[in-house]
Structure 1
Amino acid sequence: MATTPPGPDPTMDAIGRAVAEGRAGDPASARRVLLDLWSRIGVTGDPLHRCTLAHHLADLCAHPAEALAWDVRALDAADAVTEQRAQQHHAGLRIAGFYPSLHLNLADNHRRLGSFEAAAEHVTAARESVPHLPDDTYGALLRTAIDQVAEAVAHRDTSKRASAPGAAV
């Protein structure tokens, strides 16, 4: 029996366009678009939309406390995404693959705020999720970033990592 490929998802498309805009050099505009989308999605909207949007919006925050709030929203939403919903968006997508990045970001935010115990807990959670990462450039990038954050936590370093995504403080 043939399966029908997923149809277009205007919200995910809009999130993708905003993220691309931010990466192309207009983070303020990207942030405005994502905040507007968030107001339309709402806190009870589609968890995949909320997770994706919050995860990317956190990268556009200049202060780690603000980024932390968005990353917590992303993790909470990820916990509500079903495998069926993830695969409805993309057949190869697995929600388990989101967790290394989500926990990495939470660890990095906590570390930057000087909350080293919480940061270490999220480093551990990120490392436990690493087997769900693909064996590709993206997976290698996240594995390296997890190691960098773990080292910074061990040294009680609160400075921004040069390789971290997002806005400068």
Structure 2
Amino acid sequence: MTMPDAVMTRIGQGVELGHRGERDAARRLFAELWDEIGEAGDALHRCALAHSMADVQDDVREELKWDLRALEAADQVTDERAAQAGVAGSVAGFYPSLHLNLGEAYRRLGELDSARDHLERGLAAVGALGDDPYGKMIKGGLEGLARRLSPAMP
């Protein structure tokens, strides 16, 4: 049996704060955790924390900064490390969501080439997602991003 990962538990608490609309409280908790983990800390913790921190930002530039940190950290996470923390599935399943969020942030900033690049990368990675509600949500998000970008395509 896998022991609960205390940092992942605390990240989950921050996510719950964000879902309840307590974005300031979530940002404070995530900032405290980031200070504890540090730039060179456990890659899984950095990925999950940065991805969650991006979701509670009010400024799209801050959101982008955190999602870029999450993507960088994801590249350093192994499937074994994710399994130790109780994450279901492989690390490959992280990428569709990360690229969706990055594509959307770049779109909102008007950086359409970067947005399209992340859309393409997200679509290329969807095979790692299951046919469950989460997988369907991310696939739907990528389809929506494609629609939002299509009028702007040359």
TM-score normalised to structure 1 length: 0.87
Question: Using the alignment, how far apart are the partners of 2:133 and 2:89 within structure 1?
Answer: 17
Question: Using the alignment, how far apart are the partners of 1:147 and 1:92 within structure 2?
Answer: 24
Asked if residue 52 in structure 1 is aligned to residue 55 in structure 2, the reply is no
Identity of paired residues, percent? 43
2:67 matched residue in structure 1: 71
1:124 matched residue in structure 2: 120
2:131 matched residue in structure 1: 135
Counterpart code for 1:144:
G
SS of match in other structure, 1:155: helix
Deviation at 1:117, TM superposition (A): 0.4
1:19 matched residue in structure 2: 15
Once the two structures are superposed, residues 7-59 of structure 1 have per-residue CA deviations (whole angstroms, 9 ceiling, x without a partner) of 12111110001110111121110110001100110010000000000001001
Unaligned runs of 5+ in 1: 157-169
Residue 150 (structure 1) aligned to one of 125, 134, 146: 146
Counterpart code for 1:88:
Q
More helix by share: 2
Asked if residue 6 in structure 1 is aligned to residue 2 in structure 2, the reply is yes
RMSD of aligned alpha carbons: 1.3
Question: Using the alignment, how far apart are the partners of 1:90 and 1:11 within structure 2?
Answer: 12
Deviation at 1:67, TM superposition (A): 0.4
Question: Using the alignment, how far apart are the partners of 2:55 and 2:91 within structure 1?
Answer: 20
Once the two structures are superposed, residues 121-164 of structure 1 have per-residue CA deviations (whole angstroms, 9 ceiling, x without a partner) of 000000000010110111111111101111111223xxxxxxxx
Q: Which runs of 4+ in 1 moved over 4 A?
A: none
Question: Using the alignment, how far apart are the partners of 2:98 and 2:60 within structure 1?
Answer: 14
Does the 8 A contact of 2:14 with 2:30 survive in 1? yes
1:92 matched residue in structure 2: 88
Question: Using the alignment, how far apart are the partners of 2:88 and 2:115 within structure 1?
Answer: 30
Question: Using the alignment, how far apart are the partners of 1:93 and 1:39 within structure 2?
Answer: 28
Question: Using the alignment, how far apart are the partners of 1:92 and 1:22 within structure 2?
Answer: 22
CA spacing shift, 1:109–1:136, aligned 2, 3 Å: same
Question: Using the alignment, how far apart are the partners of 1:116 and 1:91 within structure 2?
Answer: 33
Once the two structures are superposed, residues 49-72 of structure 1 have per-residue CA deviations (whole angstroms, 9 ceiling, x without a partner) of 000000010011112111000000
